[in-house]
Structure 1
Amino acid sequence: MTKIRSVDRLDAPVVADVLALATAAEQADGVYPLSEDVVLRVRNGGGTHLLALADDGALAGYAFVDSANSGELVVHPGYRRRGYGSALLAAAGDGELAFWAHGDSPGAAALATKSGFIRSRVLWQMRRSLADFSAEAILPDGVTLRHFRPGHDEQAWLAVNARAFAHHPEQGRWTLDDLRLREAEPWFDPAGFLLAVDIEDTLLGFHWTKVHPPAGDDPALGEIYVLGVDPGGHRRGLGAALSVAGLRHLADTGLTQAMLYVDESNGAAVSLYRKLGFDIYKTDIMYSRRG
């Protein structure tokens, strides 16, 4: 019988083991198996961490489950097709559950089907070149841009983010802890966190950019990390203007590629990003099971 450990915080050696497992899976599959949020929880705690151990004590598989019964799962390439994935799903519980699979892989689809999960969401990563980016942002009347100020803008940003993503199952429930974890990350740069404000400095919308460092032969990559407009203070064209402003910022730093994540079902956002020159680069799938 597969041994599964369940903990809410990982000690340093196990953190290293989980991240090494994820790297081994990336090398085998061509896609990293853990999202940014899960990596932050691996390093900082929170949620439930499930560890599948082989007979020799080696880490054969890992799963994370958050408070909303959503998570991610990965099995080391050297231990696949031995029941570790099924054991991790069983350890996650019998009720309502959802797991992300990064990359639309046949193996993940087979495990999901076998375990009674159905394909429920599709998340696209889209990309475009910045080498020829020449657009300039045209803001609505009475709107200006300024940078995010750590220690000052957190609560206003959280309020607008919650309203802008009220129906989004992940982004809309961000807490101050979620925000501060990212502010503490090496990539965080207030200069790339653009806020659209009115004459009274009321926050109307934002474009938070992120820069991924070079990896192997791949150059540094800019990201539309979070883009939102307060539905209560909507200004026509603000979302498009913020998109352009953030991409302009990334291009001006010398980056040559930009990316973003968007739900396939978000027709308005997909349409905007296609107009901005983005094309689908890869696909992530959520598999869900009803309670």
Structure 2
Amino acid sequence: MRRLQLTTADPADPATAAALRTVLSRAEHVDGVAALNEQARLELARGSRTLVLLCAAGDQPGAPVVGAAVLGGGELDLVVDPEWRGQGYASAALPGLLGAVPLRTAWSHGDHPAAAAIAASRGLSAVRRLHRMELSPVPEVDATAPTPAPLRIRSFTTDDVDAWVALNAQIFRDHAEQGALTARDVADRMAEPWFDAEDLLLAEWDGRLCGYLWLKREPDSPDSAEVYVVGVAAELAGHGIARALFSVAFARLADADVRTVELYVDDDNPRAVELYSRLGFSIAATETQYSLVPATTPAEELVTRASTDGNPTARS
């Protein structure tokens, strides 16, 4: 393994952005899962998370970028370019990354065995498991089937932002990430190329907003979609609102010739896993979040740090 340099970088810099895209696209191609979740990507773009490049220093100028880390929100996302895996770069980077800023958790997207090995070697415990569930083909449903009399399903408008944020916070009050979304977070997503107001379905019960199902369809993947988030007010659970939302969503996706739909659900939400299983979804992959022990490296300024640590191999 070459000497490792950790360098903070500006994601808006064209050369940095190109290097990051290369690492992320290569990792996703090999691993079959994105190395950054959407919240990390959006916060990195708006400057509220820090990008650190892992560079392999050598005798020649221009150290190659072998990986990247994104730090912020108490989280660490770390990825190594598949071409440079198996040489200990992830393990070597951890001391400097853990000592740079306060971090509570780290994600292993795809739940790689090598990431689990690093976690075990450092005494890190898994605190969250997130399942990706898939359904294919999209089932045919009768879009004209009646819904319960007090229930109305319609599409989102910009006037619904504040009400949606309030309902989302209520539904996900025990979920640190989803429940913390703000109007600014919604605006960020509305600015994304995939956003379509018609794909954010709202449920009203006697005229009061009580649930929603948000579909995400990437423009370059017309035959697939994601149930981005779905929620129903707790006091109306069991009234068939979620099923009604899914029926409308499935009809919309079928009309668009979408073949595959996926969603993410926490392992510790068995009621939701059961509901999605009854709808035909099955677990395709699992991501693991680890709790981070206190850093063993002093919190020195993280600007072009070097390490020659030769710890065990890591892929993430």
TM over 0.5: yes
Q: Which residue of 1 aligns with 2:265?
A: 262
1:18-55 CA-partner distances (Å, limit 9, x unpaired): 11101111233333322222232343332222222221
Give 3-state SS (helix, strand or coil) of 2:117's partner: helix
Q: How does 1:189-268 map to 2 (within 5 A)?
A: 189-200=196-207, 202-214=208-220, 220-231=223-234, 236-268=239-271
1:129-162 CA-partner distances (Å, limit 9, x unpaired): 2354225565333121111112x11111111111
Amino acid at match of 1:26: E
8 Å Cα contact 1:194/1:206 also seen in 2:
yes
8 Å Cα contact 2:67/2:78 also seen in 1:
yes
8 Å Cα contact 1:126/1:280 also seen in 2:
yes
Q: How does 1:89-104 map to 2 (within 5 A)?
A: 89-94=94-99, 97-104=104-111
Higher RCO structure, 1 or 2 (CA under 8 Å, sep 6+): 2
Q: Which residue of 1 aligns with 2:47?
A: 45
Q: Which residue of 2 aligns with 1:121?
A: 128
8 Å Cα contact 2:132/2:283 also seen in 1:
yes
Identity %: 35
From 72, 75, 88, the equivalent of 2:77 is 72
Give 3-state SS (helix, strand or coil) of 2:76's partner: strand
Q: Which residue of 2 aligns with 1:157?
A: 164
More displaced 10-residue stretch of structure 1: 86-95 or 101-110 = 86-95
8 Å Cα contact 1:227/1:243 also seen in 2:
no
From 57, 61, 71, the equivalent of 2:63 is 57
From 130, 134, 149, the equivalent of 1:141 is 149
Give 3-state SS (helix, strand or coil) of 1:52's partner: strand
Q: Whole-Å Cα distance in 1 between the matches of residues 212 and 32 of structure 2?
A: 32
**Structure 1 residues not aligned, in runs of 5+:** none
Structure 1 position 225, deviation (Å): 0.7
1:180-221 CA-partner distances (Å, limit 9, x unpaired): 111001110001111112444x31111111113456xxx621
Structure 1 position 230, deviation (Å): 2.3
Give 3-state SS (helix, strand or coil) of 1:208's partner: strand
Structure 1 position 78, deviation (Å): 2.5
8 Å Cα contact 1:15/1:42 also seen in 2:
no
Q: Which residue of 2 aligns with 1:15?
A: 17
More displaced 10-residue stretch of structure 1: 233-242 or 274-283 = 233-242
Amino acid at match of 1:145: I
Q: Whole-Å Cα distance in 2 between the matches of residues 120 and 264 of structure 1?
A: 11
Q: Which residue of 1 aligns with 2:307?
A: none
**Structure 2 residues not aligned, in runs of 5+:** 295-316
Give 3-state SS (helix, strand or coil) of 2:243's partner: helix
Amino acid at match of 1:143: L
Q: Whole-Å Cα distance in 2 between the matches of residues 197 and 50 of structure 1?
A: 45
From 173, 177, 195, the equivalent of 1:166 is 173
Amino acid at match of 2:243: A
8 Å Cα contact 1:224/1:247 also seen in 2:
no
Structure 1 position 168, deviation (Å): 1.1
Over alpha carbons, which structure has the higher Rg? 2
Structure 1 position 75, deviation (Å): 0.8
Normalised to the residue count of structure 1, the TM-score between the two structures is: 0.88
Q: Which residue of 2 aligns with 1:281?
A: 284
Amino acid at match of 1:160: L
